[in-house]
Amino acid sequence: MTDLAARVAPPRPAVSDRLKFYGTWIGAALVLLVLPQVFSSGGSLTTFSLVGISIIFALSYNILLGQTGMLSFGHAVYYGLGGFLAIHAINFLGANKWAIPLPVVPLIGGLAGLFLAALIGWVMTQRSGTAFAMISLGLAELVASSALILRTFFGGEAGISANRAKLFKVFGLSFGPQIQIYYLIAAWTLIAMIAMYALTRTPLGRMCNAVRDNPERVQFVGYDPHVVRYLAFCFSGFFAGIAGALAAINFEIANSAYLGAVQSGTVLFAAYIGGIGFFIGPIVGAIFVTVLSLVLSDLTQVWQLYFGLFFIAVVVFAPGGITGLLMMHRPLVRAGMLSRVLPSYLLAALPTLALCTGLMLMIETIVHYTVNPHEDPNRVSFGIPFNAASPLTWAASAALIIVGFILARMAWKRVAESWDTTLTAARAKVHAA
């Protein structure tokens, strides 16, 4: 019996693998500690705080979409409810002088998200696919409209505000300065990442993947796909509530925007752009989407249009997301052949950049004539000055689009040929080794 158990039990990870695993999380903690020392401005701290909140929110969404295969259009409901409960908790605890510090408040938001998910999830998770997506969309619209009606709880259009510095001080920290809020968010981000990664390694996490891939087979081997989806839904709501509570603490306000379709769409974009097939994908997507939205909003007034175009490009040309593109190159890196495809990439980058520049010029020119036709036609977008009223601008944008498209199409065909040849050689080299 002992020999049989030894053969059946999975082998223990090697010492090097365990050191690599723990070293990754220790390295992440060190990065979070050092970042404010390198980038100490107020804008940097605010950006890092927003990134941390987005990471938790995107990972919570990926429990549904990436792990269990449930597309939700209303994930902001649990995010928003967690934020509102956190604000009410801060006001209540501050008014009654309870000895509960601010670092505990995100847990209240998480429990609020868990409560709502457990309350409505049993019915919602009866179905998956399109039915679940439509139910989630209807629920999102219902709660978002209720936020403007139930003013006692949601505060109407103005929302509910609070003062986080009035809570019980732990270790003398008032959590008034942004640096203290950053470290609070960073700590919760690290805890949530570890917890959600651990969830993916449990039997429940494995069954979520099985339900995503083949629910009929899961039912055949004795598991109920509905129960698996329900448990995943509850965990997702819990972590989304934590993210919403951290957002409410960061801004000291919660309003109807927390519950809106924009918030649900943003987390969908972050998870999908980063790559839903990998645990690190939503992390990459959350960082990319948060930074990109902040940068684009300073460069152009129609930044959401560019954001949508980029998302469409990812869906069409890179369905695996940014992480999927990076992971495609692992065989080449292991075989030491990555340098063989880099020249073709550089060659394709030039016409692609020309195509994007032409599209940008045309979009900004059209925006000038449709949105601000009476303003000065001399504009600056993405650091490029141009005259929106000049025929040369139209001609230049058309030429860049046409020529860039033709050359980019030819160049990317060469990239595909170089990629296939190099990948075949890399696999043969690894197999021979």
Question: Higher model confidence: residue 310 or residue 21?
Answer: 310
Residue 13: per-residue pLDDT = 63
* Sequence-ordered strand ranges (E) for 366-428: 378-381, 384-387
Cα distance between residue 229 and residue 137, in whole Å: 17
Decide: 75 and 113 in contact? Cβ < 8 Å.
Answer: no
For tokens 């990436």, what's the residue?
A: 66
Q: Long-range contact list for 291-298, CB < 8 A, 24+ apart?
A: 291/47, 291/51, 293/266, 294/47, 294/50
What pTM value is reported for the model? 0.91
Q: What is the pLDDT of residues 322-331, one digit of tens each?
A: 999 999 888 8
Question: Mean per-residue pLDDT for 244-256?
Answer: 93
Question: Mean per-residue pLDDT for 33-37?
Answer: 92
Residue 72 corresponds to which tokens in the numbers above? Answer: 């939700």
At 296, the pLDDT band (50, 70, 90 cuts) reads confident
DSSP for 176-228 reads -SHHHHHHHHHHHHHHHHHHHHHHHTSHHHHHHHHHHH-HHHHHHTT--HHHH
Residue 249 corresponds to which tokens in the numbers above? Answer: 């603490």
In sign, the C-alpha dihedral spanning 248, 251, 252, 257 is negative
Q: What is the pLDDT of residues 408-431, one digit of tens each?
A: 999 999 989 988 998 888 888 766
Residue 211: per-residue pLDDT = 93
Which is it for strands 160-161 and 384-387: parallel, antiparallel or unpaired? unpaired
Q: What is the pLDDT of residues 272-288, one digit of tens each?
A: 999 998 999 999 999 99
Count of other CB atoms within 10 angstroms of residue 418: 18
Q: Nearest Cα to 234, choosing from 208, 254, 260, 209?
A: 208
Fold of the domain spanning 15-318: ABC transporter involved in vitamin B12 uptake, BtuC (1.10.3470)
Residue 6: per-residue pLDDT = 43
- Rg of the chain in Å (alpha carbons): 25
Cα distance between residue 138 and residue 74, in whole Å: 8
Q: What is the mean pLDDT of the chain?
A: 88
At 382, the pLDDT band (50, 70, 90 cuts) reads confident
Question: Mean per-residue pLDDT for 171-191?
Answer: 92
Residue 353: per-residue pLDDT = 92
Decide: 132 and 71 in contact? Cβ < 8 Å.
Answer: yes
For tokens 């020119």, what's the residue?
A: 365
In sign, the C-alpha dihedral spanning 91, 139, 126, 207 is negative
**Single-letter amino acid code for the residue at 351:** P
Residue 277 corresponds to which tokens in the numbers above? Answer: 């097939």
Count of other CB atoms within 10 angstroms of residue 213: 10
Residue 129: per-residue pLDDT = 85
Q: What is the pLDDT of residues 49-89, one digit of tens each?
A: 999 999 999 999 999 999 999 999 999 999 999 999 999 99
At 97, the pLDDT band (50, 70, 90 cuts) reads confident
Cα distance between residue 124 and residue 121, in whole Å: 5
Asked whether residue 389 carries a pLDDT value surpassing 80, the answer given is no
Chain centroid to CA 132: 21
Residue 431: per-residue pLDDT = 66
Count of other CB atoms within 10 angstroms of residue 198: 10
For tokens 């039990």, what's the residue?
A: 9
Residue 194: per-residue pLDDT = 95
Question: Mean per-residue pLDDT for 139-149?
Answer: 88
Asked whether residue 4 carries a pLDDT value surpassing 50, the answer given is no
Cα distance between residue 36 and residue 179, in whole Å: 8
For the chain, give the number of residues.
433
